[in-house]
Amino acid sequence: MVREQNRWANEAYRGDSPWQPMAFDRGHPDAVDMKIGFKLVDVKIVTDRECAQRGFTDWGRSLTRKYNPKPLEQLTIVIVTDDMSGVLGQTQFPFDVPEDSPEQMVVVSAEGFRSFPSQNLGKESDMRYDEGDTVVHEVGHALGLYHTFQSGCQSGQGGDWVDDTNPEMFPHFTCDRSSSCHSPDPVRNFMDYTPDSCMVGFTEGQKRRAWCVLEKTRPALFRRSLAVDPTG
């Protein structure tokens, strides 16, 4: 499942996510090649009941930090497997903490991990998040991307700081046509809250912001990333 999630994330960041046209689509939704890939370096399976149940609470965040020993070298994703909060994912923006802080990490509930809901139907999992786009979304935050609905109808600077994502008043939880800010809401974008089947890609502006934020806020990881072939 971890290998499959990593493959899915790489596909998404290449702009190759599969999609089914909806009636409101006018051609293929924005899905640029972000020129970002992920090489699976290590997998650790840990028995830690407190972390598994309370990894998303403010107090519990200290429980996850010990599993991120190399923030200058790797992007760590912690999977919380028995969450009691109902949160799907939580990520520290890279510009809010020092680059060597163990808080530079992604935390995702197993309920948003690829194929976990479909393989654990007895838990009454929500199948809308079975594809694995929660990881794609949260890694977007780790690269400095805001939600597309950041600051409502205020676009660009002061909104999500990306000019080519249409502003939207509120997050969307269904894949429907809407124009909350007098332009089509970006329900196909990975940084909205739509179900996995609706999310398709990122925009050129998000690509440029992600690279800029990575270079400026995590320079050690940026330099290391340029020297690594994620497909090797």
Mind telling me the catalytic residues? Answer: 138
* DSSP bridge partners of 78: 107
CB hemisphere CA count around 75 (13 angstroms) = 27
Q: Which residue has the tokens 């999310």?
A: 199
Find the DSSP H helices in the chain: 2-13, 49-54, 61-65, 116-119, 133-142, 204-217, 219-226
Q: How many CB atoms lie within 10 A of CB 157?
A: 10
- CA 67 centroid distance within chain: 19
CA–CA separation, 200 and 190 (whole Å): 7
Amino acid type, 111: E
Task: Using alpha carbons, select from 55, 58, 53 the residue that is nearest to residue 66.
Answer: 55
Q: Quickly list DSSP for 152-209.
A: TT--STTTTS-TTS---SS--SS-----TTSS---TTBTTS---TTT--B--HHHHHH
Amino acid type, 103: E
